[in-house]
Amino acid sequence: MLFFDPILSSDNRMSCASCHLPEKAFTDGMRTSISNTGHPLKRNSMTLNYAVYASGYFHDMRVKRLEDQFEHVVFSEDEFDSNYASIIDKLNKSPKYADRFQAIFQDPRSKIRNHHIDYALTAYVMSLNSFDSPVDQYFQGKREDLPAEIKRGFNLFTGKAACATCHFAPLFSGTVPPLYVESESEVLGVPNDKKPLLF
């Protein structure tokens, strides 16, 4: 409910799902995301699929725990442009949220707290790890064969195109095998002036 509810933003217009659309693998599918005022941001929204397995979050890996990620969106002037006190006030005034948070967290103070919001959103994001694509099903032995176009794409992705040198199977997110306990991030930007480097 929280993930799809714009109640989390200061103007009640933007939700987590504004930039993380389920039908687009929990990205926004755009070159760069759009701010709460409609102007383009510097980066696009990363997928939340399999985010539970990452060891760093955001493009610059500035957050190390999934439950700490949300506060960066709350305080960002370009995103929710809000604060926890305001959000908690709105949620505590909502019978549907107040009752559900109390039922789940059973806090004797009967008020929603910052960490309740963070943990609720984290619990939802942790569920986004289905491992049920045709490729997943094939490697799990749940299907005998793959369509030719999927085979060609997988072979290109893991072979000539070299995508899999950074996007390691089965998560494809930069979480590094064989132990999958760290995530790596690469800077692939090209300078605007494109002048040759002089050594």
**pTM exceeds cut of 0.85:** no
Token representation of residue 47 = 């997928």
- The answer to the question of residue 1 being in a domain is no
| Spatial distance between the Cα atoms of 177 and 179, rounded to a whole number of angstroms | 5
Last residue in a domain, options 78, 98, 126: 126
Q: Which domain holds residue 139?
A: 134-165
Q: Domain count of the chain?
A: 2
Residue 84 and residue 150 share a domain: no
Residue 120 and residue 34 share a domain: yes
Beta-carbon contacts of 9 under 8 Å, excluding residues fewer than 6 positions away, are 15, 36, 79, 80, 81, 82
Residue 20 and residue 91 share a domain: yes
The helix or strand, by DSSP H or E, that contains position 71, with its residue range, turns out to be helix 70-75
Residue 140 and residue 119 share a domain: no
Output the tens digit of pLDDT for each of the chain's 199 residues.
Answer: 999 999 999 999 999 999 999 999 999 999 999 999 999 999 899 999 999 998 888 888 889 999 999 999 999 999 999 999 999 999 999 988 988 998 899 877 768 999 999 999 999 999 999 899 999 999 999 999 999 999 999 999 999 999 998 888 888 888 888 888 888 877 666 666 666 555 4
